[in-house]
């Protein structure tokens, strides 16, 4: 269902830590677990896999 994200693509993300949404580019990682975003509000790392599972991420235009 979810196609593998590409590093550098922009996404609209709902941060599971602080609950605010932001738009950010995917950060690369050597493994799937390391891919995700840095929340500009709380500065915590948001793992792509975690937000994808909860439907909290969608591609941004």
Part of the chain binding Zn ion (CB under 5 A), chosen from 9-17, 24-32, 47-55: 9-17
Q: Is 13 in the site for Zn ion (CB under 5 A)?
A: no
18 counts as binding Zn ion under rule CB under 5 A: yes
Does residue 47 touch Zn ion according to CB under 5 A? no
Q: Is 26 in the site for Zn ion (CB under 5 A)?
A: no
Question: Rounded to whole angstroms, what are the CA distances from 1 to 10, 17, 40, 42, 55?
Answer: 19, 25, 28, 29, 12
State the Cα angle at 26 between 7 and 18, rounded to 5°: 165
Residue 6 touching Zn ion (CB under 5 A): no
């Amino acid at each position: 269902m979810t196609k593998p994200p590409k590093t550098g693509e922009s996404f609209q993300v709902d941060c599971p830590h602080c609950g605010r949404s932001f738009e950010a580019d995917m950060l690369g990682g050597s493994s799937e677990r390391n891919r995700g975003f840095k929340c500009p509000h709380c500065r915590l790392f948001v793992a792509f896999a975690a937000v994808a599972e909860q439907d909290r991420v969608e591609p941004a235009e």
